[in-house]
Chains A and B, each alone.
Chain A
Amino acid sequence: MVNQLNRPPSPAGNGQPDARLLSDKRYKLIEATMRRYGYQGHGLIEALHSAQEAFGYLDDFTLRHIARTLRLPPSKVFGVATFYNYFTLKPQGAHTCVVCLGTACYIKGAREVLNAIEAAHQVKAGGTTADNQLSLLTARCFGSCALAPVITFDGETIGKVSPDHVADLIAQRLVGASQVLEHAEP
């Protein structure tokens, strides 16, 4: 399945790959994914997944790089990246909180939970706080409906939250996370 010959040459011009591709090791992860699919177009979504995993979001340069390598028009790559909700083109804050707005959570008051977080942390759903610490997102369903209403904080699922306590819960975690970082530094 691996076909190195499929790899298109470096961008036309000086014949050298862009310095960013060489200096940033994370591009190697994307490269590995694209190689697994023989640099064919059907690996596009997988390539975007690994790019988002590596960088946290998809920037213009990365999208163009993927388009060039998979020999796809940039418009198609941009179209796919914006079609799917999972991909984001904006940089995210240091921490991410996702509020589930699925039916079960909704019935158990997820909207109030979201409002409480928005009010306490001065951030709108889909945005990032001014200090770049917290990104607040919403999701359609985590499938953890028995724990409704559910939020996740940096991937950790927190169930049965209440509008009264959720803001403190997140504040504690933000403080906790920064303390851990301070301890980790030499």
Chain B
Amino acid sequence: MNLEELNAIAHSERLAQAQKRHHLHVCVGTACQALNSEQIAKALQAALKQRGQQQDAAVKCVGCPGLCSLGPLVEVISKEDSAGPRSLLYQFVKPEDADEIVAHLGGEPVKRLETPLDQPFFTRQLKIVLENCGKVDPERIEDYIAIGGYQALMKVLTEMTPQQVIDEITHSGLRGRGGAGFPTGLKWGTVAKADPNRYPTNVPEGIQSRKFVICNGDEGDPGAFMDRSVMEGDPHRVLEGMAIAGYAVGANYGFIYVRAEYPLAVKRLRTAIRQAQRAGLLGSNIGGTPFSFNVEIRLGAGAFVCGEETALIASIEGGRGLPRPRPPFPAEFGLWGCPTLINNVETLANVPPIILKGADWFASIGTEKSKGTKVFALTGQVKHTGLIEVPMGITLREIVFDIGGGMPEGKSFKAVQTGGPSGGCIPAEFLDMPVDYESLAKVGSIMGSGGMIVMDDSTDMVEVARFFMEFCMDESCGKCIPCRAGTVQIHRLLTKIQQGQATERDLQTLEELCDLVKHTSLCGLGQSAPNPVISTLKYFREEYLAKIKREASFSTNGKRVEEHV
């Protein structure tokens, strides 16, 4: 397929869509699907048929529009209406409501289901990565092409050299969205320059490439579902980003590593790859140019450590997901010994808009060192839970209280946890801090992949630290001793504190152990595992002390024995 053919598809698809006066978008993301949204789509179709409005309106299954706590969601976009063009959002829709919704098309909205679209949850967001989620049908490539999909790929293939693509990404200031925030352009440049013959390689038969692109979709972080929503809601965007990356670094083969726990994302990605191959947007000689690029899906099997890049490579090679020391970095010595580019799903999804709208546009969003937007999965004790995308530099207060709508009735804010088991708890005093890589690191947390869990005053912070340490203990791969043994000992100490049997001395040991594990572990899992403990010790020390002091008073007056027997 070349550019003219691509434009022709886009044009005919847009014409077909323009004929309908009303578009009914039903969310079929995992959360809404669990609440029967597919039945709603069917019921809406049936209602349209019954009322003879099929020519007039179309039902489309779309990815996640974000406000999962009010799901299942149905958005009605009307071109011409008594009140002009407008959008309506219906919340908590049930299949029985379908007929009423259809009956009210073009007239008054169904008041009992309507939720305003101008609430801060929507107006305070800025969508780049998620701009298509909730708008395109993830299972139809034509729909993606109609809104300008694959134009960026065509642009780089026909107008830009690989070096120009890398320069554009470098100038945009895009940084890795997986957590550590490594500059993406720099990584791409290193892989592009790497010599595939420097190290001995053992690429399996049948794969004709000496460099690779890997999309890291192993979102193991509990409480995070950004990558899942992007892969489910806009899979073609990920494929397009991968193909552009492949062109820039000189790779002809890509892997998407997805968790097996995300069956819907796997299914949609498989469909998307098949459609793109059939359309000639993946495969040999894309767009009539000499560039070839193939993508294969590899399933994870439930190991948190596989989010670490060297462990992920070991897993794709068919082995246990064990990390190895770096350097050499995967950019020089990666999959089967070849130079390998590993980027997170969200990073790659940022690439097509940067190519189309330019690096300057992207660099104008965000703060000095953190450009663009970040997707967060906002969950926990907050009114509106769901998926949000905000410009870098927004304050935590705006996220929790404006977009999230604040705490549920009668609860008060205590802390927000970012970065999952690798991150820390941020107390109320830092609510006005801007959210960017540096600021979060300064207060002892990390940006992480984007999980953001709000905790209220009833949350026991020692228990939270213990919960995360239990997670890291289970997920430690066992290769290096500080992580394998250290996490177990830290967990044991936290349990002891929780049971009221710890002394001041144990607290000191805990701090020493955290420091040791942080500085001597082999990979990111161990190095960041103590973060939840360190940050809660720093900001909520009195909770630890309270549990110790109680023990001390028991032992002095001799009651402790009675309490525990």
Interface residues of A (CB under 8 A from B): 1-3, 6, 37-38, 40-46, 48-49, 76, 79-80, 83-87, 101-104, 106-108, 139-148, 150, 156-159
In contact, B317 and A42 (Cβ under 8 angstroms): yes
Q: Which residues of B contact A49 (CB under 8 A)?
A: 260, 299, 301
Q: Which residue of the partner chain, among A42, A80, A104, contacts B380 with CB atoms under 8 Å? A: A104
Which residues of the partner chain A approach B420 to less than 8 Å between Cβ atoms?
Answer: 103
Chain A residues near B223 (CB, 8 Å)? 102-104, 141, 145
A-B contact pairs, 14 of them (CB 8 A): A1-B206, A38-B204, A43-B318, A44-B319, A45-B298, A80-B318, A84-B302, A86-B260, A103-B380, A104-B222, A146-B68, A147-B35, A156-B34, A157-B30
Task: List residues of chain B with CB within 8 A of the CB of A106.
Answer: 222, 467
Q: Which of B45-53, B172-180, B427-435, B451-459 contacts A (4 or more CB under 8 A)?
A: B451-459
Within 8 A of A (CB), among B446-481: 451, 453, 455, 459, 464, 467-468, 471, 477
**Closest chain A residue to B421, Cβ basis:** A103
Q: How far apart are the CA atoms of A83 and B304 in the complex, in Å?
A: 11
Interchain CA distance A86-B306 in the complex, whole Å = 13
Given A83-B320, A157-B30, the answer on whether A143 and B302 have CB atoms closer than 8 Å is no
Query: Contact: A144 with B31, CB < 8 Å?
Result: yes
Residues of A within 8 A of B260 (CB): 49, 86
How many Å lie between the Cα of A86 and that of B321 in the bound state?
13
Which residues from A are CB-within-8-Å of B320? 79-80, 83-84
Q: Indicate if the CB atoms of B451 and A103 lie closer than 8 Å.
A: yes
B34 touches A40 (CB 8 A): no
Which of A43, A49, A144, A145: most chain B Cβ within 10 A?
A: A145
B22-71 contacts to A (CB < 8 Å) = 30-31, 33-35, 68-69, 71
CA distance in complex: A159, B37 (Å): 14
Apart from A79-B320, A103-B420, A145-B224, what are 5 other A-B pairs with CB-CB below 8 Å? A45-B301, A102-B223, A143-B30, A146-B379, A156-B34
For chain B, the bracket of interface size reads 35 or more
- Is B453's CB under 8 angstroms from A103's CB? yes
Point out the residue from A3, A86, A101, A156 that lies within 8 Å of B302, measured CB to CB: A86
Given known A-B contacts A104-B453, A146-B31, A159-B35, A46 and B222 have beta carbons under 8 A apart: no
Is the Cβ of B318 less than 8 Å from the Cβ of A42?
yes
Measured CB to CB, the nearest residue on chain B to A157 is B34
* B252-301 CB contacts (< 8 Å) to partner A: 260-262, 298-301
| Contact between B261 and A142, CB atoms less than 8 A apart | yes
B30 touching A145, Cβ below 8 Å: no
Q: Determine the distance from Cα of A49 to Cα of B302 in the docked complex, in whole angstroms.
A: 12
Q: Which residue in chain A gives the minimum CB-CB distance to B321? A: A83
- A85 in contact with B301 given A104-B453, A147-B68 (CB within 8 Å): yes
A83 to B300, CA, bound (A): 12
Q: How far is the CA of A140 from the CA of B386 in the complex (A)?
A: 18
Minimal Cβ-Cβ distance residue in B for A147: B31
B315 at the interface (CB under 8 A from A): yes
Q: Which residues of B contact A157 (CB under 8 A)?
A: 30, 33-34
Query: Distance in Å from the Cβ of B316 to the closest Cβ of chain A?
Result: 7
Q: Is the CB of B319 within 8 A of A145?
A: no
9 closest A-B pairs by beta carbon, nearest first, are A146-B68, A102-B222, A84-B301, A1-B206, A143-B225, A157-B34, A85-B302, A86-B302, A103-B223
Known: A45-B299, A46-B299, A48-B301. A145 touches B225 (CB 8 A): yes
